[in-house]
Structure 1
Amino acid sequence: MAISPAAVAPGDVLLEVDNLRTYFDTVSGTVRSVDGVSYQVRAGRTLGVVGESGCGKSVTALSILRLIPTPPGRYAGGQIRYRGTDLLGLTEKQMRQIRGNRISMIFQEPMTSLNPVLTVGRQIAETVMLHQKLGRREAYRRAEEMLRLVQIAEPERRVHEYPYQLSGGMRQRVMIALALACNPEVLIADEPTTALDVTIQAQIVDLLRSLQRDLGMGIVLITHDLGVVAECCDRVAVMYAGRKVEEAPVTELFDRPLHPYTRALMASMPSMNTSTQRLAEIPGMVPAPSELGKGCSFAPRCAYATERCRAEAPELMEHGSDHVVACHEAARVAAQPAPQAAASATPGAALTGVQA
């Protein structure tokens, strides 16, 4: 059975995250893990979401699929619209028809995301039987086809194997096959190259790009690797401490980063041109979500910070065509040349100067 492309035109808006706020109520107070994040996902396009660990990238993705445990989590505001329907207003039964079917996700750790006591074929087949209402034999045929689609050799044999029998790269390909089994229109890939060596990373990146061209889906690529972003994405949203601080087309962002945090990420990225230079580091630590003050959350680590930054949180403002940034000093930042490493970004160039 052939996998048919999504029935949308390239560039159509499939998913809109609008001023999303996801909070967690703890004994120490309210943690604002996602605090007013907005972005769009378009058919045939890839949106990169980048930032350090703990910035809210994955919580935003889990919120889209309504996978946040409530309590302690809660959706404190905003909307998540899929083809115009607010997912936060759906019942759980209605959400199950979308989750894993129309919107799917590749989870961050394939070594633990797959069920170790079920064959990979059964895990894919069960997803297909749930959403596509196929019989067992047809579902296993689809599972075999999906393994072939993600370029796993001998899929007729691999479909009967368990996760422990597969390499890390093959397990990641199985995760991709599982996510694509029902032909989703939106694919959320949460750190899809984590724990893989650089050669396998490049193969997974190439595979995602190839599948997107063939199937026409929109992709949200969550990563901390700006090299992968430069290779794969059409647009980039940069997150810090639960907020989106900058968004622009990928070429524009690398040519003209306007937020000091974006510049710091680029400066800390290894480059072929900086092999004899010490990598720049971002001083300090990401603030805990429960300890955010009233000013800019990046101000304590920022070389451009002023008293206004420490007292007043900046709002997202347009700076040129299709480029938004939340920074009081964006004009001063724009006057500086882009970090040299940004021009030579390549897949696998990890942000080694970032505190995780």
Structure 2
Amino acid sequence: MEDIKTNFLERRRQPFLTEGFYKTWVRETFEIRRRVTAEELADPTLSPLGRKYMLEGHASETTNLLHLRYTAGEPIEKLRGDLDEVVEAWEAFAKAAGVIGTQPAGSIFGFGYRSEYLPAVLLVGLTILLRREDLLPRIDALSFSFRGVDAVYEELVSPFIPGRGFVDTWYHAEPYTEALDAIDSNDPNEQSALMKEAVERWYASNEGMPFHGTHKDIDDEGHGGYFGYWCFELAALCYLKNIDDSRFRNHLTYPKDLVDFARAYRAEPDRQPPPEPGAATFQVLSARPGEPCPREGVWFAVHLRGKEIRMRQGETMPGPEIGPSGAVTWYFKGP
């Protein structure tokens, strides 16, 4: 069980974050912006383009909030549950963008741009470290057109998604060339040394990114865009490849407690990695607002305060798309 510290300064995982900024940003996100977003998305006059951009902003904000909670020292077990909301938010945007659906195409993340590539690998890396492998197929669907083209991404998802092959090209050299060299090495000492180099270069290699240097501008009124500097994707590779991190585990950007958690965790029965083809599976029926109801019966939505409704098969699942606590997904309760 985690040692949950009550003092914010002791609990936070990076020294730049102030308690005032954290509390203000969280309060404004939940009490102000989410309510406004929900109201605007419910406006029938909102254009499809406006809806798409609003859903993208909500997904980014929800992701930033998860990163901020980790930086603030929130318990890892709680963050595991918060990850569902992040994935649901990106799925809502991907649906509006036409990336997922009956004819999936494209990607909400453009791997050729570091500003879009990094959110993709950070999301995958954090999901792996939180041991939420059950979410990886859904996350992978967000980058449909970039499957099998980037070695770093494939090294992360291939242990959990069948049918992925070896890839020897990648989009961004720094710091990923060193990380991939570490994976390719058969010498444990060389592996550790190369990954240490990658971790130490991670922050500098992201100079020019919107988050770079934001710790200098935050204040207790919630100004600034600092949510934490974390190389989740490199840490996930260390976990997956069993690389000794003793040389760099105390580096500022390395989430060592997440790696320790991932290595010690034992999967719950309902959160196992995807089964082998042909194996029996148990499927939880779900549907997003605007989609046809897949089965007649009672449905409930966690982010509408547990609201229950009875639907007939084929009827359109009701909105809103964003509830008081996050992106709305309806789950089948029973006949």
Quick one: higher RCO (CA 8 Å, sep 6+), 1 or 2?
1
User: Of Structure 1 and Structure 2, which has the larger fraction of its residues in helix?
Assistant: 2
Q: TM-score normalised to the size of structure 1?
A: 0.26
Q: TM-score normalised to the size of structure 2?
A: 0.27
